Structure 1
Amino acid sequence: MKPLALITSCVIGTLSLSAHASTSEDLAQILRFGLPAAAAATSWAKDDSEGLWQFGISFAASSATALALKSSVDAERPDGSSNDSFPSGHATNTFAAASYLQQRYGWEYGVPAYALASWTAVSRVNTDHHRWGDVLAGAALGMAFSYWLVDPYSPVQLTPLIGKDSVMLTGSIRF
């Protein structure tokens, strides 16, 4: 599937869900789960099981780190609703998905995903759920794990095979 068609499908899907969202908080919640789902769906549509696995590991690692920090830092939210402000889980999740898409498939996938992730982060500050430091830390967490654990996608793979009396090179090309 072409990047523009896939991204358009994801944006249309998000917009159709946002028709049911009454506030920017609702839309941020939809994007928190929708953008990672779109990243996983992209790998699935490309029949990229290795990428799907890498996304799962990097997403789980960034989410677990964010949850550990939330419980250990104990920072109060600007609106006073709870003590789990730092880092922003919404920013962690959306930036993990956006950076996965960019790292694995390139900027044509990353730019729209980063735009949606950025909107989510800004909306969390505008609704007084987080401070700028909270969303920047969440974004950094999501991006760091993706850049550390995700390899760029390559449709061409070469594998050396070394036997007792021979050396061979085998390869495959994905269409």
Structure 2
Amino acid sequence: MNTRIISFAVAALLSTTPLHSAMANTDDTGADVLRLALPAAAWGMTQYLNDDSGAKQFYYSFATTIASTYALKSAIHKNRPDGSDNDAFPSGHTAMAFQGAAFLQRRYGWQYGAPAYALASYVGYSRVNNDHHDSQDVLAGALIGIAASFYFAEPFYGVQVTPTAGLNGVGIKFRSTW
């Protein structure tokens, strides 16, 4: 499929999610912007590096994050702490933000992932702080975004360090992609 068509489709999808009005508080506005900016930065990195394989991995990761999040929201119907609606679980803002952050870290390394994870964490914090979610909603959203990126994204170059956890314990896996 033509990369420009896919790029346009992703841009269109990201633009369909409206930001809050000017009356929203600063935390809400920051979270609204970052939930779009982090995936956009991840996608932008694939374009900047002319990384067609990474772009394809991003599309799969992003689509999986969105589909999983909204499938769970429509199946669970958990009320928000502020009582505004029943779409609290999982946090879509957090899922999108952590998908972008995890993609950057997994594909391009910690030099991009660490600041992105810090910004994604702010998104999660602000969603709890403003009573849109509780910590379980935010944790579930973060895990969805991270899992999708780790499933689809492969390291681009260099040495990739990946934390591991399983029935046999925890550890660190090193992988050279030279």
TM-score normalised by the chain length of structure 1:
0.75
- Cα distance in 1 for residues equivalent to 2:25 and 2:138: 22
- The match for 1:136 is 139
Select which of 33, 36, 49 maps to 1:33. Answer: 36
Summarize deviations over 1:51-79 as a string: whole Å, max 9, x none: 01101111110110000000000000000
2:123 maps to 120
Q: What stretches of structure 2 of length at least 5 have no aligned partner?
A: 1-21, 159-178
Aligned with 2:83 (options 80, 84, 103): 80
Alignment of 1:1-175 (within 5 A): 23-154=26-157
The sequence identity of aligned pairs, in percent, is 50
Greater Rg by CA: 1
Q: What stretches of structure 1 move > 2 A for 4+ residues in a row?
A: none
> Within 2, Cα distance between the matches of 1:79 and 1:22?
15
Alpha-carbon distance between aligned partners in 2 of 1:97 and 1:35, rounded to the nearest angstrom: 5
Post-superposition offset of 1:154: 2.7
SS in 2 for 1:128: coil
CA distance in structure 1 between the partners assigned to 2:68 and 2:103 by the alignment? 17
Shift of 1:39: 0.8
Which consecutive residues of structure 1, in runs of 5 or more, have no partner in the other structure?
1-19, 156-175
State the 1:118 CA deviation.
0.2
The size of the alignment, in residue pairs, is 137
C-alpha RMSD over aligned residues: 1.6
Q: Quick one: distance in 1 between partners of 2:35 and 2:152? A: 21
- Distance across 2 between alignment mates of 1:150 and 1:38: 15
Q: TM-score, normalised to structure 2's length?
A: 0.74
